[in-house]
Amino acid sequence: MKKVVGLTYDLRKDYLAEGFTEEQAGEFDSEETINCLQQTIEKLGYKTERIGNAKALCGQLAAGRRWDMVFNIAEGFGGRNRESQVPCMLELYEIPYTFSDPLSCAITLDKALAKKIVQSAGIPTSNFFVIEKIQDIKKTDLQFPLFIKPIAEGTGKGVDADSLVEKPENLKKTCKYLLEKFKQPLLAEEFLSGREFTVAVLGNASNAKTLGIMEIEIPGDPKGIYSFTAKEKCEQLVNYKPYRDKALYDRLSKLAVESYHALQCRDAARVDFRCDKNGEPNFLEINPLPGLHPTHSDLPMIAAQEGMSYQDLIKSIIDNALARTKRPVD
Protein backbone atom coordinates (compact mmCIF):
# COMPACT_ATOMS: atom_id res chain seq x y z
CA MET A 1 0.00 0.00 0.00
CA LYS A 2 1.28 3.47 -0.89
CA LYS A 3 2.24 5.72 1.98
CA VAL A 4 0.07 8.81 2.30
CA VAL A 5 1.70 12.25 2.37
CA GLY A 6 -0.49 15.12 3.51
CA LEU A 7 0.18 18.63 2.24
CA THR A 8 -0.08 21.62 4.58
CA TYR A 9 0.15 25.09 3.07
CA ASP A 10 -1.40 28.55 3.00
CA LEU A 11 -2.97 29.39 -0.35
CA ARG A 12 -2.53 33.01 -1.39
CA LYS A 13 -5.83 33.25 -3.25
CA ASP A 14 -7.76 32.23 -0.10
CA TYR A 15 -6.34 35.17 1.83
CA LEU A 16 -6.87 37.60 -1.05
CA ALA A 17 -10.51 36.50 -1.14
CA GLU A 18 -10.77 37.42 2.55
CA GLY A 19 -9.62 40.96 1.77
CA PHE A 20 -5.88 40.70 2.38
CA THR A 21 -3.63 42.92 0.28
CA GLU A 22 -1.04 41.46 -2.10
CA GLU A 23 1.69 42.33 0.39
CA GLN A 24 -0.15 40.84 3.37
CA ALA A 25 -0.58 37.59 1.42
CA GLY A 26 2.91 37.77 -0.05
CA GLU A 27 4.37 34.80 1.85
CA PHE A 28 1.58 32.42 0.90
CA ASP A 29 1.70 29.95 -1.96
CA SER A 30 0.14 29.95 -5.39
CA GLU A 31 -2.13 27.21 -6.67
CA GLU A 32 0.58 26.44 -9.22
CA THR A 33 3.12 25.70 -6.48
CA ILE A 34 0.77 23.31 -4.67
CA ASN A 35 -0.18 21.56 -7.92
CA CYS A 36 3.48 21.05 -8.88
CA LEU A 37 4.39 19.84 -5.41
CA GLN A 38 1.49 17.40 -5.26
CA GLN A 39 2.19 16.00 -8.73
CA THR A 40 5.87 15.61 -7.93
CA ILE A 41 5.25 13.75 -4.68
CA GLU A 42 2.86 11.41 -6.48
CA LYS A 43 5.49 10.73 -9.15
CA LEU A 44 7.77 9.65 -6.31
CA GLY A 45 5.32 6.86 -5.52
CA TYR A 46 3.26 8.35 -2.69
CA LYS A 47 -0.44 8.98 -2.38
CA THR A 48 -1.17 12.60 -1.48
CA GLU A 49 -3.95 14.40 0.35
CA ARG A 50 -4.37 18.15 0.46
CA ILE A 51 -4.87 19.34 4.02
CA GLY A 52 -4.48 23.11 3.70
CA ASN A 53 -3.69 25.61 6.43
CA ALA A 54 -3.31 25.23 10.20
CA LYS A 55 -7.03 25.58 10.90
CA ALA A 56 -7.85 22.94 8.29
CA LEU A 57 -5.24 20.64 9.84
CA CYS A 58 -6.75 21.18 13.28
CA GLY A 59 -10.19 20.19 12.00
CA GLN A 60 -8.94 17.10 10.20
CA LEU A 61 -6.91 15.90 13.18
CA ALA A 62 -9.93 16.35 15.43
CA ALA A 63 -11.97 14.32 12.93
CA GLY A 64 -9.48 11.46 13.17
CA ARG A 65 -7.51 11.91 9.94
CA ARG A 66 -3.89 10.76 9.98
CA TRP A 67 -1.05 10.57 7.42
CA ASP A 68 2.22 8.66 7.16
CA MET A 69 3.98 11.98 6.72
CA VAL A 70 3.08 15.62 6.17
CA PHE A 71 4.95 17.77 3.69
CA ASN A 72 4.69 21.10 5.45
CA ILE A 73 5.13 24.49 3.78
CA ALA A 74 2.48 26.34 5.82
CA GLU A 75 3.64 29.82 6.80
CA GLY A 76 0.76 30.32 9.23
CA PHE A 77 -0.96 33.54 10.19
CA GLY A 78 -0.77 35.77 13.26
CA GLY A 79 2.36 36.63 15.23
CA ARG A 80 5.96 35.55 15.23
CA ASN A 81 5.11 31.92 16.12
CA ARG A 82 2.92 31.40 13.07
CA GLU A 83 5.35 29.08 11.27
CA SER A 84 5.29 26.82 14.34
CA GLN A 85 1.52 26.25 14.33
CA VAL A 86 1.47 23.25 11.99
CA PRO A 87 4.63 21.57 13.37
CA CYS A 88 3.26 21.87 16.92
CA MET A 89 0.02 20.10 16.04
CA LEU A 90 1.80 17.38 14.12
CA GLU A 91 4.14 16.72 17.02
CA LEU A 92 1.17 16.53 19.38
CA TYR A 93 -0.24 13.71 17.24
CA GLU A 94 3.19 12.13 16.57
CA ILE A 95 2.95 12.57 12.82
CA PRO A 96 6.31 13.01 11.06
CA TYR A 97 6.71 16.04 8.83
CA THR A 98 9.24 17.78 6.63
CA PHE A 99 11.44 20.73 7.56
CA SER A 100 12.24 22.33 10.89
CA ASP A 101 10.58 21.87 14.27
CA PRO A 102 8.46 24.50 16.09
CA LEU A 103 11.36 26.01 18.03
CA SER A 104 13.55 26.59 14.99
CA CYS A 105 10.61 27.92 12.97
CA ALA A 106 9.80 30.46 15.69
CA ILE A 107 13.36 31.59 16.38
CA THR A 108 14.30 31.99 12.72
CA LEU A 109 11.21 34.10 12.02
CA ASP A 110 12.33 36.56 14.69
CA LYS A 111 15.28 38.08 12.84
CA ALA A 112 16.89 39.56 15.96
CA LEU A 113 16.82 36.27 17.89
CA ALA A 114 18.27 34.46 14.88
CA LYS A 115 21.07 37.02 14.63
CA LYS A 116 21.84 36.69 18.35
CA ILE A 117 22.20 32.93 18.01
CA VAL A 118 24.44 32.99 14.93
CA GLN A 119 26.46 35.79 16.52
CA SER A 120 27.02 33.63 19.60
CA ALA A 121 28.24 30.87 17.27
CA GLY A 122 30.91 33.20 15.86
CA ILE A 123 29.15 33.84 12.55
CA PRO A 124 29.48 37.45 11.34
CA THR A 125 26.30 39.51 11.18
CA SER A 126 25.90 43.28 11.05
CA ASN A 127 25.37 45.25 14.26
CA PHE A 128 21.67 45.60 15.05
CA PHE A 129 19.11 47.06 17.41
CA VAL A 130 15.43 46.24 18.03
CA ILE A 131 12.97 49.14 17.90
CA GLU A 132 9.74 48.29 19.71
CA LYS A 133 8.36 51.82 19.93
CA ILE A 134 9.28 55.09 18.30
CA GLN A 135 11.04 56.35 21.44
CA ASP A 136 13.58 53.54 21.08
CA ILE A 137 15.31 55.26 18.17
CA LYS A 138 16.98 57.56 20.71
CA LYS A 139 18.68 54.57 22.33
CA THR A 140 20.54 53.21 19.33
CA ASP A 141 24.20 53.98 18.73
CA LEU A 142 24.42 52.17 15.39
CA GLN A 143 26.43 53.71 12.59
CA PHE A 144 24.48 55.12 9.65
CA PRO A 145 23.37 54.22 7.05
CA LEU A 146 20.87 51.82 8.60
CA PHE A 147 18.52 49.26 7.12
CA ILE A 148 15.09 48.98 8.76
CA LYS A 149 12.58 46.15 8.35
CA PRO A 150 9.83 44.37 10.33
CA ILE A 151 11.33 41.83 12.69
CA ALA A 152 9.13 38.86 11.78
CA GLU A 153 8.14 39.05 8.12
CA GLY A 154 9.32 37.27 4.99
CA THR A 155 9.26 37.68 1.21
CA GLY A 156 10.60 41.21 1.58
CA LYS A 157 7.42 42.48 3.26
CA GLY A 158 8.01 46.00 4.53
CA VAL A 159 11.22 46.40 2.51
CA ASP A 160 11.49 49.17 -0.08
CA ALA A 161 13.75 52.10 -0.96
CA ASP A 162 12.84 53.86 2.30
CA SER A 163 14.19 50.91 4.31
CA LEU A 164 17.68 52.27 3.68
CA VAL A 165 18.03 55.23 6.04
CA GLU A 166 21.06 57.33 5.16
CA LYS A 167 20.71 60.08 7.81
CA PRO A 168 19.50 60.21 11.45
CA GLU A 169 16.85 62.82 10.62
CA ASN A 170 15.07 60.31 8.34
CA LEU A 171 14.95 57.47 10.86
CA LYS A 172 11.81 58.52 12.72
CA LYS A 173 9.67 58.75 9.57
CA THR A 174 10.62 55.27 8.35
CA CYS A 175 10.19 53.64 11.77
CA LYS A 176 6.87 55.36 12.46
CA TYR A 177 5.47 54.14 9.13
CA LEU A 178 6.60 50.52 9.60
CA LEU A 179 5.54 50.31 13.27
CA GLU A 180 2.05 51.51 12.38
CA LYS A 181 1.72 49.29 9.31
CA PHE A 182 3.06 46.00 10.65
CA LYS A 183 2.24 46.28 14.38
CA GLN A 184 5.48 44.56 15.40
CA PRO A 185 9.03 45.52 16.42
CA LEU A 186 11.55 46.56 13.80
CA LEU A 187 15.07 45.34 13.16
CA ALA A 188 17.57 48.14 12.59
CA GLU A 189 20.89 46.98 11.12
CA GLU A 190 24.01 48.73 9.99
CA PHE A 191 23.71 48.64 6.22
CA LEU A 192 25.88 46.18 4.30
CA SER A 193 26.89 47.76 1.01
CA GLY A 194 28.32 44.69 -0.73
CA ARG A 195 27.04 41.81 -2.83
CA GLU A 196 24.08 39.63 -1.84
CA PHE A 197 23.92 35.84 -1.96
CA THR A 198 21.54 33.06 -1.03
CA VAL A 199 22.81 29.58 -0.14
CA ALA A 200 20.84 26.33 -0.34
CA VAL A 201 21.55 23.72 2.34
CA LEU A 202 20.23 20.15 2.26
CA GLY A 203 20.48 17.36 4.80
CA ASN A 204 20.69 16.78 8.54
CA ALA A 205 23.41 16.69 11.18
CA SER A 206 26.80 15.78 9.70
CA ASN A 207 25.17 15.10 6.32
CA ALA A 208 24.05 18.73 5.89
CA LYS A 209 25.78 20.16 2.84
CA THR A 210 25.62 23.21 0.61
CA LEU A 211 23.75 22.44 -2.61
CA GLY A 212 24.72 25.67 -4.35
CA ILE A 213 24.98 29.44 -4.12
CA MET A 214 23.20 32.12 -6.12
CA GLU A 215 24.13 35.79 -6.36
CA ILE A 216 21.28 38.30 -6.39
CA GLU A 217 21.63 41.50 -8.40
CA ILE A 218 19.07 44.30 -8.78
CA PRO A 219 20.26 46.10 -11.96
CA GLY A 220 17.85 49.03 -11.63
CA ASP A 221 18.87 49.80 -8.03
CA PRO A 222 22.46 50.90 -7.28
CA LYS A 223 21.94 50.02 -3.59
CA GLY A 224 20.70 46.52 -4.48
CA ILE A 225 17.61 46.55 -2.25
CA TYR A 226 15.92 43.14 -2.54
CA SER A 227 12.47 44.58 -1.85
CA PHE A 228 9.01 43.06 -1.79
CA THR A 229 8.38 44.44 -5.28
CA ALA A 230 11.67 43.02 -6.57
CA LYS A 231 10.80 39.57 -5.21
CA GLU A 232 7.27 39.64 -6.62
CA LYS A 233 8.51 40.76 -10.05
CA CYS A 234 11.83 38.95 -9.95
CA GLU A 235 11.66 37.83 -13.58
CA GLN A 236 11.73 41.47 -14.68
CA LEU A 237 13.75 43.15 -11.93
CA VAL A 238 16.32 40.66 -10.61
CA ASN A 239 19.37 38.93 -12.06
CA TYR A 240 20.07 35.55 -10.46
CA LYS A 241 23.55 34.22 -11.15
CA PRO A 242 25.17 30.92 -10.17
CA TYR A 243 28.16 31.76 -7.98
CA ARG A 244 31.25 29.57 -8.15
CA ASP A 245 34.37 31.66 -7.38
CA LYS A 246 36.14 29.32 -4.99
CA ALA A 247 37.39 31.51 -2.14
CA LEU A 248 34.14 33.34 -1.41
CA TYR A 249 32.08 30.24 -2.32
CA ASP A 250 33.89 28.20 0.31
CA ARG A 251 33.47 30.97 2.89
CA LEU A 252 29.73 31.33 2.18
CA SER A 253 29.25 27.56 2.18
CA LYS A 254 30.97 27.17 5.56
CA LEU A 255 28.98 30.00 7.14
CA ALA A 256 25.70 28.71 5.71
CA VAL A 257 26.13 25.22 7.15
CA GLU A 258 27.27 26.67 10.48
CA SER A 259 24.17 28.90 10.56
CA TYR A 260 21.97 25.92 9.66
CA HIS A 261 23.39 23.96 12.58
CA ALA A 262 23.35 26.90 15.03
CA LEU A 263 19.63 27.42 14.39
CA GLN A 264 18.97 23.64 14.32
CA CYS A 265 17.29 23.59 10.92
CA ARG A 266 16.32 20.30 9.29
CA ASP A 267 15.98 18.68 5.86
CA ALA A 268 16.57 21.86 3.81
CA ALA A 269 16.78 25.61 4.23
CA ARG A 270 18.01 28.72 2.47
CA VAL A 271 20.50 31.08 4.10
CA ASP A 272 20.86 34.73 3.00
CA PHE A 273 24.10 36.71 3.21
CA ARG A 274 25.24 40.17 2.23
CA CYS A 275 28.83 41.36 2.13
CA ASP A 276 30.16 44.42 3.92
CA LYS A 277 32.31 47.08 2.24
CA ASN A 278 35.36 44.84 2.67
CA GLY A 279 33.72 41.88 0.94
CA GLU A 280 33.16 39.87 4.15
CA PRO A 281 29.85 37.95 4.05
CA ASN A 282 27.44 38.64 6.90
CA PHE A 283 24.44 36.55 7.90
CA LEU A 284 21.11 38.23 7.09
CA GLU A 285 18.54 35.55 7.84
CA ILE A 286 17.62 31.92 7.25
CA ASN A 287 14.44 30.48 5.78
CA PRO A 288 13.58 27.06 7.24
CA LEU A 289 10.47 26.83 5.00
CA PRO A 290 11.91 27.90 1.66
CA GLY A 291 9.61 28.62 -1.27
CA LEU A 292 9.09 25.69 -3.63
CA HIS A 293 7.66 27.13 -6.83
CA PRO A 294 9.66 25.25 -9.51
CA THR A 295 10.89 28.35 -11.38
CA HIS A 296 10.08 31.35 -9.16
CA SER A 297 11.53 30.26 -5.80
CA ASP A 298 15.21 30.50 -4.91
CA LEU A 299 15.76 26.95 -3.62
CA PRO A 300 14.48 25.20 -6.79
CA MET A 301 16.39 27.76 -8.88
CA ILE A 302 19.62 26.85 -7.10
CA ALA A 303 18.84 23.15 -7.53
CA ALA A 304 18.30 23.68 -11.27
CA GLN A 305 21.58 25.57 -11.67
CA GLU A 306 23.37 22.65 -10.00
CA GLY A 307 21.75 20.08 -12.29
CA MET A 308 19.26 18.77 -9.74
CA SER A 309 15.70 18.32 -11.01
CA TYR A 310 12.70 19.59 -9.09
CA GLN A 311 11.63 15.98 -8.52
CA ASP A 312 15.04 15.07 -7.08
CA LEU A 313 14.93 18.14 -4.81
CA ILE A 314 11.56 17.15 -3.37
CA LYS A 315 12.74 13.55 -3.03
CA SER A 316 15.79 14.73 -1.10
CA ILE A 317 13.64 16.72 1.34
CA ILE A 318 11.30 13.77 1.95
CA ASP A 319 14.16 11.29 2.24
CA ASN A 320 15.92 13.53 4.76
CA ALA A 321 12.75 13.75 6.85
CA LEU A 322 12.16 10.00 6.69
CA ALA A 323 15.75 9.22 7.64
CA ARG A 324 15.71 11.34 10.79
CA THR A 325 12.32 9.92 11.85
CA LYS A 326 13.57 6.40 11.11
CA ARG A 327 10.54 5.68 8.95
CA PRO A 328 11.48 3.19 6.20
CA VAL A 329 10.73 4.09 2.58
CA ASP A 330 8.60 1.44 0.86
pLDDT in tens, 169-178: 999 999 999 9
Together in a domain, 264 and 214? yes
Is the pLDDT score of 203 beyond 50? Answer: yes
Together in a domain, 111 and 133? no
Range of the domain at 272: 107-123+193-325
What's the rounded Cα separation, in Å, for the pair 183 and 240?
Answer: 32
**CATH number for position 143:** 3.30.1490
Structural domain includes residue 260? yes
pLDDT at position 329: 44
Specify whether the CB–CB gap between 266 and 322 falls below 8 A: no
Find the range with the poorest average confidence among 106-115, 158-167, 227-236, 317-326: 227-236
* Mean pLDDT, range 197-216, rounded to an integer: 97
Handedness of CA 169, 175, 181, 187 (dihedral sign): positive
**CATH number for position 242:** 3.30.470.20
What's the rounded Cα separation, in Å, for the pair 8 and 243?
Answer: 33
Together in a domain, 136 and 208? no
Domain boundary residue, one of 190, 209, 230: 190
Is the pLDDT score of 84 beyond 80? Answer: yes
pLDDT at position 232: 86
**CATH number for position 22:** 3.40.50.20
pTM for the full predicted model: 0.95
Together in a domain, 27 and 68? yes
Query: Which residues are CB-contacts of 207 (< 8 A; sequence separation ≥ 6)?
Result: none
Structural domain includes residue 102? no
Is the pLDDT score of 330 beyond 50? Answer: no
pLDDT at position 124: 98
Q: What is the mean pLDDT of the chain?
A: 95
* Mean pLDDT, range 139-147, rounded to an integer: 96
Tally of domains in the chain: 3
Is the pLDDT score of 233 beyond 60? Answer: yes
Per-residue pLDDT reduced to its tens digit, 277-292: 999 999 999 999 999 9
Per-residue pLDDT reduced to its tens digit, 16-28: 999 999 889 989 9
* DSSP E strands, the chain: 4-8, 47-52, 69-72, 128-131, 146-150, 164-165, 186-190, 196-202, 209-217, 239-242, 268-275, 281-287
Together in a domain, 78 and 143? no
Tally Cβ neighbours within 10 Å of residue 182.
Answer: 18
What's the rounded Cα separation, in Å, for the pair 56 and 319?
Answer: 26
Together in a domain, 138 and 201? no
- Residues across the chain: 330
Together in a domain, 224 and 241? yes
Per-residue pLDDT reduced to its tens digit, 95-113: 999 999 999 999 999 999 9
Query: Which is higher by pLDDT, 195 or 235?
Result: 195
Structural domain includes residue 330? no
Together in a domain, 209 and 316? yes
Handedness of CA 183, 184, 188, 194 (dihedral sign): negative
Is the pLDDT score of 326 beyond 80? Answer: no
